[in-house]
Amino acid sequence: MYFKFNLNIGGIYVKQRNAFYMLLMSLASVLLFLGINTTGASAKDSFGYQGFWYEAAGKQATAWGIDDSDGNEHTYPANIVIPEKVVDPDNGQTYTVTKVGKGAFQSGAYGTTKSVHLPDTVASIGESAFESDRLTSFTAPRNLKYVGEDAFESNKISSLKLNKKLVSISWGGFAFNKITTLNCPSTLRSIGTAAFVSNKLKTVKFNKGLKNISRYAFEGNKLHVHTLHIAKSTKVSKLAFDENYK
């Protein structure tokens, strides 16, 4: 049986992180004014844009949640829409959003976010990025490759549409939702531990190229395990389908 213990304290993680970034950026600004390079290379650029916080490096940006750099508390919006391009208001530089950071929109006890739209440029969604929100559906962006640990855990997702470039779903990626049907894209190679634990899955279509299904991956669903078609080349944990219909 799969167990997981969480300690969620509202949005404190996000707020502390953004406050910490602002402190670092202030310190970096002083050092740069004194002519000191703080990184030995090009420094990362952190900024707020249209209500959200981003960190940029090169020409790419990572979404890091709510912009609370003004020192005020901000609730999570019901509908999150991340644009493909973001602009640093201080220097006018434009960046392409390719990642969603760790814990970026993790709502904790609040759980106010009901929908999210990510641009097709996003290739990676970080650990706990949308954990404990109230999402009822999710359509993966076209270029998404990696879903991080617990990225969508403890939502209310009943409709999930995966994209054709997805490679990996990490530990607990979609755990504790209400998903009933899953179609694995041909590119998917790994389904992590407890990735879909405690959903309402009745149908799963596995792809031939899938290499690994980890333990507890589909525990606590409504699957008739003997009817599943899994390629002989796929390594399946003995506990992958625990607590389903045999």
Render pLDDT for 125-141 as a digit per residue (tens, 0 to 9).
Answer: 999 999 999 999 999 99
172-209 residue pLDDT tens? 999 999 999 999 999 999 999 999 999 999 999 999 99
pLDDT at 197: 98
The larger pLDDT score, comparing residue 25 to residue 90, is at 90
The larger pLDDT score, comparing residue 120 to residue 44, is at 120
pLDDT at 35: 46
The CA radius of gyration of the chain, in Å to the nearest whole number, is 20
- Give the rounded percent of residues in the chain with a pLDDT score beyond 70: 81
Task: Tokens 């899955």: give the residue.
Answer: 201
Question: Which one-letter DSSP state was computed for residue 186?
Answer: T
pLDDT at 107: 81
pLDDT at 124: 98
Residue 169 in tokens? 């779903």
pLDDT at 109: 53
- Nearest CA to 62 out of 96, 37, 88, 35 is that of 96
Cα 194 from Cα 2, distance rounded (Å)? 7
Question: Residue 157 above 50 pLDDT?
Answer: yes
pLDDT at 12: 33
Average pLDDT for residues 13-17, to the nearest whole number? 36
Phi/psi for 23 (5° steps) reads -65, -45
pLDDT at 71: 86
Q: pLDDT category, 1, cuts 50, 70, 90?
A: low
pLDDT at 44: 73
CB-neighbour burial class of residue 229 (10 A; exposed 0-12, middle 13-18, buried 19+): exposed
Residue 200 CB coordination number (10 Å) = 13
Q: Establish how many alpha carbons lie within 13 A of residue 21's alpha carbon, considering only the half-sphere containing its beta carbon.
A: 23
Average pLDDT for residues 222-235, to the nearest whole number? 95
In this structure, is the dihedral angle defined by the CA atoms of residues 80, 20, 148 and 150, taken in order, positive or negative? negative
Strand 60-66 to 52-57 pairing? antiparallel
The residue type found at 220 is G
Q: pLDDT category, 59, cuts 50, 70, 90?
A: very high
DSSP codes of every residue in 188-232:
--EE-TTTTTTS---EEE--TT--EE-TTTTTTS--BGGG----T
User: Whole-number mean pLDDT of the chain?
Assistant: 86
